[in-house]
Amino acid sequence: MSNLDIFGAILGFALTLMVFSYLIGDNPLFRVAIHIFIGVTAGFVCIIVINNVLLPRMIVPLISGSMEERLLAIIPMLLGWLLLTKISPRLATFGNIPVAFLVGVAAAVAIGGAVLGTLFPQINATIAIFDLTTSRGFDTNKGLQLVNGIIILVGTVTTLAYFHFGTGPQQANPTGLQSLLRGFNQVGQVFIAITFGFLFAGVYSAAMVALVERLSFIVDFLKSVLLPLLST
């Protein structure tokens, strides 16, 4: 193990303990560790953007690229300069051009993808569950497939009904439609609660793996670095 590895291990050990110190409450050690992480991340992202984006995609084509590459590099450079005018209140109007371009492209890509990639396929999939002639891999039991489809259909409808707020305030004698929607709401709440519970279990699982990894690192550090240093 080189000296650099030992230094890195000591630094990691110290930062890990500083983050764990949050168990006793907010304290300067925890804040220092968080600020170090944020600063290092910001600096690293800046270097990545310069080395991985600006230099190879704009500077190099402008200097040593063909005429086509130079023309193509001028456009993002101009848009980038216009974006910098947002700093000045007087010139901020010019910055609206690249902002409009960014927002427009992002919205078009996101909406198009959501409609064609999620909405229509998922609706189609919900309908296709009841197509018992379609093979679904390992799930060959048609009865289970039908029950699964019914559960998914009920869950989808009642969850959507839960987000319907048109029933108005509680009334002593609700109409038939209001009673139906309230029943759907209650069933939808059950599905939403199950979903949130599942999500929480996933979050806890991910956090537990992170805890195990850090504690393993601490134990390994104590075994391989600290104990030999103390023994000598």
What is the distance between the alpha carbons of residues 198 and 151, in angstroms, rounded to a whole number?
A: 17
In the complex, least distance from residue 117 CB atom to another protein, rounded to whole angstroms: 3
- Block residue for tokens 């560790």: 33
Q: Which stretch binds another protein (CB under 8 A): 17-25, 92-100, 169-177, 182-190?
A: 17-25
Window 68 to 87, contacts with another protein (CB under 8 A): none
Binding mask 103-142 for another protein (x = CB under 8 A): --xx--xx--xx-xxx--xx-xx--xx-x--x-xxxx---
Cβ(95)–Cβ(84) under 8 Å? yes
The alpha carbon of 1 is separated from its chain's Cα centroid by a whole number of angstroms, namely: 36
Cβ(1)–Cβ(220) under 8 Å? no
Buried (b) or exposed (e) across 50-71, using 16+ Cβ within 10 A?
Answer: eeeeeeeebeebeeeeeeeeee
What is the distance between the alpha carbons of residues 81 and 74, in angstroms, rounded to a whole number?
A: 10
In the complex, least distance from residue 227 CB atom to another protein, rounded to whole angstroms: 13
SS (H, E, C) 21-34: HHHHCCCHHHHHHH
**Residue whose CB is less far from another protein, 29 or 174:** 29
Per CB under 8 A, the list member of 63, 92, 151, 209 interacting with another protein is 209
**Residue whose CB is less far from another protein, 7 or 204:** 204
| Under rule CB under 8 A, residue 195 binds another protein | yes
**Binding positions for another protein, rule: CB under 8 A:** 23-25, 41, 44-45, 48-49, 51-53, 56-57, 105-106, 109-110, 113-114, 116-118, 121-122, 124-125, 128-129, 131, 134, 136-139, 195, 198-199, 201-206, 208-216, 219
